[in-house]
């Protein structure tokens, strides 16, 4: 056998034991009359000891020729270390080597395989198999495994059944472009890779499975924003004979279980917030509630003077920055430059200092007196020593801009502690969202989301006012899960598709299989899908998902390690009846 123990296993109680170890050479320290080698595998590091008085000469010579990342096997005796290393679990012992076999030589790695490496992102992604040997990446992948096991255990104990659904499906409109796969056996026709298993899990409910889950790959061919991947993993769940409250209770339970099992944290409160309130108070539908800085709408106390910037704005809104009065003028100017960046898009920022003596000093003192500024402080909740930051403009745009500023300030102030977890349900989303360019409505979630009871009649008269029976689970300012109660009868689904612009023929062509299934006794049902990559990253105290994915794509959707996507040859194109029409 290649090993009797792994490299993280041996302790002082194993002294005088004959062992066989295999692994990678982490480092070699040649002292002339003795050699020390750190041998590494997934489990840890064991120090190997070569002594010219006790180790055969040919073994010494072999050891002297070892390079970093050589794969070796050794046999020897566990002995107590003269100089112990308290920083590693095996630090009390070492192995006096009697036999050494080189299993495979290695080139010099393009970056150092240490916790703190000298390799940049690009080179580490190109040699991802080497990057995985580093502890931070290795531990992230092990951490992901622990999370998925905890998920499976919880859901299985709640009587959920894990069912696989197909990857080669029919293209359906779900908000993003599909990845399409040509079918050789069906000339001129294409499969699509699923953006989610949405229709299949609904069909499983029609099939009587009652409680389903799947940890599943999903695919979206969309322009990548920061920390997005074209393929991602969902914890996909569906339940029959449920209302919204049933689903919220089950998945609050799952989230509590994960926080306790993985992080040792007990969370009792899962506040619920209306979508409209989330937008009004935080400017987005996934607010981070670990800290305050809620929005204060200032129209009534800021649009009565001759300041045209505010008077001509749809919304004037501000936040109180705790302790912000300590900022110098230069620091505030940098903050103004930050909100004027293209990524944020504000035209400027007005501010008011809340002095310790109860007076105020603003950037618009020409237009507003002390009484006015006191009202700004009251509306935003500002106290002495704080700074009130105010933006104005189109309601939707300015809320998004102030939301970005709020998160940036919280980061600078250290208010986003990754060890603190603040979950939140956001409920009562709009059913439809207006596309300002086309003037048409589209589903905010997906076409199978049920409207709130009693509101379907509003689709004809006030479509923008209809609320969805939908909910998102937010954790620390990130949407980690979302779902809805589904439409489960053909007539309601037909009405919904009609309002989304589908003709009867188009609806039948796209979703006929689902609507037909509804005629064979579909139960009321609903579900939720967690974004596993994001969930794991947050539980792991990180904002980026890439290190929790074994082989991620870069920001252009490329796998630089295997160089994909890549062209295919003319013979393959011919087999698929495809011709390329590439733009020059």
Residue 191 vs residues 178, 179, 562: alpha-carbon distances, Å? 9, 9, 24
445 is in an annotated binding site: yes
Q: What is the Cα–Cα distance from 435 to 100, expressed in whole angstroms?
A: 69
Q: Collapsing DSSP states into helix, strand and coil, what is residue 523? A: coil
531 is in an annotated binding site: yes
Beta strands in 446-560 (DSSP E): 470-475, 478-485, 525-531
Q: What is the Cα–Cα distance from 362 to 27, expressed in whole angstroms?
A: 61
532 is in an annotated binding site: yes
486 is in an annotated binding site: yes
Q: What is the Cα–Cα distance from 117 to 115, expressed in whole angstroms?
A: 6
Q: What is the Cα–Cα distance from 192 to 232, expressed in whole angstroms?
A: 15
Contacts of 504 (CB under 8 A, 6+ apart): 494
Q: What is the Cα–Cα distance from 536 to 373, expressed in whole angstroms?
A: 44
29 is in an annotated binding site: no
472 is in an annotated binding site: no
Characterize the bridge pairing of strands 478-485 and 525-531. Answer: antiparallel
Q: What is the Cα–Cα distance from 529 to 212, expressed in whole angstroms?
A: 11
Contacts of 554 (CB under 8 A, 6+ apart): 122, 125, 560
Beta strands in 105-230 (DSSP E): 161-162, 180-182, 190-192, 211-219
Q: What is the Cα–Cα distance from 436 to 224, expressed in whole angstroms?
A: 22
**Nearest to 234, CA basis, from 209, 205, 214:** 214
Characterize the bridge pairing of strands 161-162 and 211-219. Answer: parallel
User: Beta-carbon neighbour count of residue 483 at 10 Å?
Assistant: 25
Q: What is the Cα–Cα distance from 272 to 288, expressed in whole angstroms?
A: 13
10 is in an annotated binding site: no
CB 130 within 8 A of CB 522: no
Q: What is the Cα–Cα distance from 409 to 403, expressed in whole angstroms?
A: 10
Known binding residues for ATP are 220-222, 229, 479, 531-534
Known binding residues for L-aspartate are 174, 220, 445, 486
Known binding residues are 174, 220-222, 229, 445, 479, 486, 531-534
């Amino acid at each position: 056998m290649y090993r009797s123990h792994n490299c993280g296993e041996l302790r002082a109680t194993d002294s005088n034991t004959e062992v066989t170890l295999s692994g990678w050479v982490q480092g070699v320290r040649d002292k002339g009359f003795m050699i020390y080698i750190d041998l590494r595998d997934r489990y840890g590091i064991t120090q190997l000891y070569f002594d010219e008085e006790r180790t055969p000469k040919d073994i010494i010579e072999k050891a002297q020729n070892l390079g970093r990342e050589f794969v070796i096997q050794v046999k020897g005796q566990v002995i107590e270390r003269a100089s112990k290393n308290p920083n590693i679990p095996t630090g009390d012992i070492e192995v006096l080597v009697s036999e050494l076999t080189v299993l495979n030589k290695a080139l010099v790695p393009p970056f150092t395989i240490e916790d703190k490496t000298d390799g940049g992102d690009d080179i580490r992604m190109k040699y991802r198999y080497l990057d995985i040997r580093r502890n931070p990446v290795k531990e992230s992948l092990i951490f992901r495994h622990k999370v998925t096991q905890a998920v499976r255990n919880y859901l299985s104990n709640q009587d959920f059944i894990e069912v696989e659904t197909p990857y080669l499906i029919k293209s359906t409109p779900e908000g993003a472009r599909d990845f399409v796969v040509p079918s050789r056996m069906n000339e001129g026709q294409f499969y699509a890779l699923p953006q989610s298993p949405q229709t299949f899990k609904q069909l499983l409910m029609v099939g009587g499975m009652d409680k389903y889950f799947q940890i599943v790959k999903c695919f979206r061919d969309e322009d990548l924003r920061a920390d997005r991947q074209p393929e991602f993993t969902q914890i996909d769940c569906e339940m029959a004979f449920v209302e919204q409250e049933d689903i919220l209770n089950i998945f609050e339970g799952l989230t509590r279980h994960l926080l306790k099992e993985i992080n040792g944290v007990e969370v009792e409160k899962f506040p619920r917030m209306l979508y409209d309130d989330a937008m009004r108070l935080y400017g987005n539908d996934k607010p981070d509630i670990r800290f305050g800085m809620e929005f204060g709408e200032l129209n009534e106390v800021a649009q009565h003077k001759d300041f045209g910037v505010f008077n001509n704005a749809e919304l004037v809104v501000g936040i109180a920055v705790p302790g912000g009065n300590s900022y110098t003028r230069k620091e505030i100017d940098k903050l103004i430059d930050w909100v004027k960046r293209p990524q944020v898009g504000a035209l400027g920022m007005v501010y008011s200092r809340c002095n310790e003596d109860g007076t105020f000093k603003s950037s618009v003192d020409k237009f507003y007196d002390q009484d006015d500024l006191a009202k700004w402080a009251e509306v935003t909740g500002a106290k002495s020593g704080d700074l009130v930051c105010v933006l104005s403009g189109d309601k939707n745009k300015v809320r998004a801009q102030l939301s970005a500023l709020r998160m940036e300030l919280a980061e600078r102030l250290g208010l986003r502690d990754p060890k603190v977890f603040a979950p939140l349900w956001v409920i009562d989303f709009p059913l439809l969202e207006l596309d300002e360019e086309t003037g048409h409505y589209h589903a905010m979630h997906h076409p199978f989301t049920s409207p709130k009871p009693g509101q379907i009649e509003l689709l004809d008269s006030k479509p923008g006012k209809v609320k969805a029976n939908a909910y998102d689970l937010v954790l620390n300012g990130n949407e980690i899960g979302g779902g809805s109660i589904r439409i489960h009868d053909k007539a309601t689904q037909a009405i919904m598709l009609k309002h989304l612009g589908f003709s009867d023929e188009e609806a039948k062509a796209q979703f006929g299989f689902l609507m037909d299934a509804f005629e064979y006794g579909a139960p009321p049902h609903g579900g939720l899908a967690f974004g596993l990559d994001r969930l794991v990253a947050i539980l792991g105290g990180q904002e980026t998902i890439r290190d929790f994915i074994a082989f991620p794509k870069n920001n252009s959707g490329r796998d630089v390690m295997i160089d994909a996507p890549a062209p295919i040859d003319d013979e393959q194109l011919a087999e698929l009846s495809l011709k390329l029409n590439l733009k020059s």
